[in-house]
Amino acid sequence: MKEFDLIVIGSGSGLNVASAAAEQGLKTAIIEEGPLGGTCLNRGCIPSKMIIHSADVAETIRQSALFGLNATIRSVNFRKVTRRASQVVDADAHAIERSIRSSKNPLLFKARAKFIGKYTVQAGNEILRGKKIVIAAGARPVIPSIPGLNTVPYLTSTEALRLTSLPQSMIIIGGGYIAAELGNFYGSLGCKITIIQRGPLLISREDTDVAELLTTLWKKKYTLLMNATTRNVVRKGKMVIVSVEQGGNVRSISAEKLLLATGVRPNTDLLDVQKTGVKLNEQGFVVVNKYMETSVKNIWALGDVAGVYLFKHSANLEADYVLQNILSTPTAVDYYPMPHAIFTNPQIAGIGMTEQEVQEKKIAYVVGKYHYKDTGMGAAIEERDGFVKFIVHRKTQEILGCHIIGPDASTLIHEVVVALKADRKRALEILRTAVHVHPALSEVVQRAALNVPV
């Protein structure tokens, strides 16, 4: 048995903890079965945003006639699109592994981790014991229980990022973030997209105004089967046939590829976490307190496996706090304000509560909204649908939420993030009074803030 001061399971944001702890003199082990760098680098945000950029370029070309340009897409080198991303992330993962192996601390164990006791982990043929343990083992795609699914080939987000030929058609089961991003990617490059969604809206966790607009826009270019249930799937030659029930009627649809985008589940079951005594919730996520501590002393969890937020930026934040809490006086994680973005078309970003959440909490609120098209830059880029929406406490004028749908939403939301971080109570005033470059796109944020009733 090998003894360590700290064992970190997972090399995504967990690697931040392992490397920094080793620099502070802790004898550290890091266990990772797959490529180094975790979900974000290898099968998440980095490769997806690289390939999605190709879709964004394609959409720009298609819109060129609006600006007096006659441009067309003559062909798509799909292999180049996905291989560009794969080569970059694979090179980065190998570079990280080489860097770790060049040092004796942290010590890398390239194997699947399994707990065999409270502080004891098996990694391949090795048995490790740690005084402290960090569980940062991430999550994986949910595979729904659909009759016949085990008899047909299907994709999850992992495989969808590495296809080397563009399918002519694709059925996507699910209507959340992954469906929105990958549906946009494949659809923009010429694949015929059909989405099967259980509810009435895509991205239903977003503010309803945003979800309704995206759903409306996508109905114009893709086939959306809303309020629908997948009954079964079968394979017929090179095609996948999906039986769908919608409004009491059953129909069969076919496509070359089937993509499952039905959420994620934590990897706690693969780790046999129950052998540590660490408490899990009903979905299998590790239960943590505000310090990222689990129910067992000297065991922490962070990132997707803890499920507080399922973002890379939140996992990196948690890693900073976990490191501090291992080395010194425990400090509660300060998530405020936590933004997110969906890199689809149009882009979507948000922070804070949605209008429906504010209504559920029975908070008195007012709304300020402004459309891109009513700004100078919005008119210049011919953006006709997007908007910025503020949800503000009626009495205190505190920003409760901000939601953006339109070009560069993922960037524009940071104006709100910085204002809220600077002064939570005065953020609205800051946005209203700060001088904005005219006619920069960011004026749409300021004008939405100015539209909030006083």
Q: Which helix (H) or strand (E) holds 129?
A: strand 126-135
Catalytic residues: 438
Measured in whole angstroms, the distance separating CA 11 from the mean position of its chain's CA atoms is 18
Of 366, 388, 364, nearest in space to 436 by CA: 388
CB atoms within 10 A of CB 288: 24
Q: Which residue has the tokens 């086939």?
A: 223
CB 378 within 8 A of CB 444: yes
The amino acid at 64: S
Q: Between the CA of residue 138 and those of 266, 271, 273, 279, what are the distances in Å?
A: 6, 11, 13, 16
CB 407 within 8 A of CB 441: yes
Decide: helix, strand or coil at residue 130.
strand
CB 291 within 8 A of CB 302: no
**For the chain, first and last CA: distance in Å?**
66
Q: Residue 333 and residue 341: Cα distance in Å, rounded?
A: 21
Q: Residue 241 and residue 253: Cα distance in Å, rounded?
A: 6
C-alpha dihedral (246, 248, 250, 253), degrees to nearest 10: -10
Phi-psi region of 116 (alpha: psi -120 to 50; beta: other; left: phi over 0): alpha
